[in-house]
Structure 1
Amino acid sequence: MPIEIRDTQNIDRQALHAAMLDAFSDYDIPLQPTLDQFNAMLAQRQFDPALSSVAMDGDQVLAFWLIGTDDHRAHLIASGTRIAHRGKGLAKKIAARAEAEIIKAGYKLIQFECLTSNQRALDLYLKQGHEIEREFDCFSMEIGDWAESDCHIKQVDWDIVAPHTDKLRDVMPSWQNEDFAIAAAPEAICLAAYQETQLVGYIATAPSDAVYQLAVAPTCRHQHIGQTLIKRAAHLIGKPTMAFINIDKAAEETIGFLTHLGARKTVSQYELIKRF
């Protein structure tokens, strides 16, 4: 049976999930989400089955480009090829189909991340016309018995914090941690820090332990607010560690703060963008 290149409409989610587990099993940090976590990721990143592409052999997904969208942008949620089917040009074919559909739909660019250590994939993306936009670091942090701020910390809905994020943070998050993605995450947890009635900081996190965003007002830093937010969020979701994914290397103050608290860098990634 010939391999079919097609969209992901009417493709069983379990088949997509199984392909992702195989494709990512040999990464520097293997990404092995449960099916529920996989479905939550697709929902949060606004998965578009019509723009996404797969290579199929019967009912088995051999390779995939899963696309999400927001405003004028398309995002590559995840891409990969099963280990046994690499080197056959499948990634090039499904990428070409996905990009053609993205352009047809009127989106102006596609952006995503690639591990800096994955030179094979990076070379492919650069040959396809993608450009390196930013570099990110990822961290894992054990929660310590840190001093706490005297701010009032309370759990709030994301829409309480969202109008104020640009005034509190220094650097734009990566696309999957942007405001629209948190708003689309059904299980996102948000804590806000107040001095009297003034919002001075916030944290938004997933139940899995991944921190979407953390920010403290520039005039209120070095008052234990950030570490209090991290500590309270970890306690709320019942996790001994927290993960900070895709912190822009330009955010030197944030990286200094995380490393001061004992955060350990796990991997680095490039943000890639291709404009149409």
Structure 2
Amino acid sequence: MSLDIRRAEGLSAEALRLGMVAGFEGYAVPMAPTAEQFAFMMGQRGMVPDASWVAVEGDVVRAVWLVSIREGRGYLIASGTAAEWRGNGIARRMGEASIADLAARGVGTYWTEVLHGNNAARALYDRLGFTTAREFSWYDLTPSGDGLGEICAWGDVVAEAAACRDWEPSWQNSDASLAAVSDGITVVQLRDARGLVGYAAMVTASGTVAQIAVREDARRRGVARGLLARLGALSPKGALRLANVQSDDAGFAAAAAALGAVPDLGQTELRRTL
């Protein structure tokens, strides 16, 4: 039986979740989210069902190509094909359908990330016309020391956050993504008479730090260490993961090393003009 490639609208979240789980089986970082985790992930990244694609066999989703659209940009959240169907060009066909669809909608650019070492996926994205935009690093950290900062809402820091940053967060960690799941993140801030000194935002359930930044004049004073220690005390695991740190930020890399952060797998951010 061949697979039918169609839009994802009309399919249940559970059908899409199971298709994603099957599609990532056997990968270096398999993704098997619970229903709650899948809902959070799609909400955070902004999945649009009628811009997303699936390959179905009867009523069963065998491959997914899940897409978001925000402010004239498209983003591939996740793509994967069940093991028994890999090598048949299904992902390429979904990708081509998605590119044509986004271009018809007037979307200007298309973004995604690929794990370092996932050569098959990278080759597919190359064939689809994606090129490297940035490299990202991940770190694992068990914070120590005294915590700094008070717990606040994401809305309390978002207007001043960009002034503290040297680079834009990745799609999943963007201001819009954090606003979309604000009930599921923990934010701490430190202020002085000038305003926001520094802040950090963590996905509460996983202990993943989505954003951390310190105002330039307040750096190298232990602010980042204190903010991370505060989040570490609030993390359900006691440990933290720093996700999608821009790899060419030498200052961040040095600070992470000084804090005892351990580098883990990284990703390449990809971009395609439509």
Q: What TM bracket, shorter-length normalisation?
A: over 0.9
Alignment of 1:131-210 (within 5 A): 131-144=131-144, 146-148=145-147, 153-185=149-181, 186-196=183-193, 198-207=195-204, 208-210=206-208
**3-state DSSP class of the match of 1:87?**
coil
Paired AA for residue 169 in structure 1: R
**Number of equivalences:** 272
Matched, 1:236 2:234: yes
**3-state DSSP class of the match of 2:51?**
coil
Alignment of 1:25-40 (within 5 A): 25-40=25-40
Matched, 1:90 2:90: yes
Please give the per-residue CA displacement for 1:84-139, whole angstroms capped at 9, x wherever unaligned.
11001110111111112111111111101001201111111111111111111111
**C-alpha separation in 2, matches of 1:238 and 1:49:** 32
Q: 1:56: Cα distance to partner?
A: 0.4
User: Which residue of 205, 217, 226 maps to 2:224?
Assistant: 226
Identical pairs, percent? 31
Matched, 1:115 2:112: no
**C-alpha separation in 1, matches of 2:243 and 2:192:** 28
**3-state DSSP class of the match of 1:36?**
helix
Q: Is the contact between residue 133 and residue 272 of structure 1 (CA under 8 Å) also seen in structure 2?
A: yes
**C-alpha separation in 1, matches of 2:58 and 2:246:** 41
Q: 1:264: Cα distance to partner?
A: 1.2
Matched, 1:56 2:56: yes
Q: 1:29: Cα distance to partner?
A: 2.5
Q: 1:200: Cα distance to partner?
A: 0.1
**3-state DSSP class of the match of 2:50?**
coil
User: Which residue of 251, 254, 270 maps to 1:253?
Assistant: 251
Instruction: Return 131-140 or 191-200, whichever deviates more.
Output: 191-200
Q: 1:196: Cα distance to partner?
A: 4.8
TM-score (norm 2): 0.94
**C-alpha separation in 2, matches of 1:260 and 1:33:** 33
Q: 1:18: Cα distance to partner?
A: 1.5
**3-state DSSP class of the match of 1:50?**
helix
Q: Is the contact between residue 148 and residue 224 of structure 1 (CA under 8 Å) also seen in structure 2?
A: no
Match of 2:269 in 1: 271
Q: 1:251: Cα distance to partner?
A: 1.4
Q: 1:23: Cα distance to partner?
A: 2.2
Q: 1:59: Cα distance to partner?
A: 1.3
Paired AA for residue 71 in structure 1: E
Runs (5+) with no aligned partner, structure 1 = none
Paired AA for residue 178 in structure 2: I
**C-alpha separation in 1, matches of 2:24 and 2:52:** 18
**C-alpha separation in 2, matches of 1:197 and 1:156:** 18
Paired AA for residue 142 in structure 1: T
Match of 1:5 in 2: 5
**Could you list the runs of 4 or more consecutive aligned residues of structure 1 that deviate by over 4 angstroms after TM superposition?**
none
Please give the per-residue CA displacement for 1:11-30, whole angstroms capped at 9, x wherever unaligned.
12112111222222322222
Please give the per-residue CA displacement for 1:179-222, whole angstroms capped at 9, x wherever unaligned.
11111114122111123563100001111111110001111112
Please give the per-residue CA displacement for 1:129-151, whole angstroms capped at 9, x wherever unaligned.
1111111111111222x2455xx
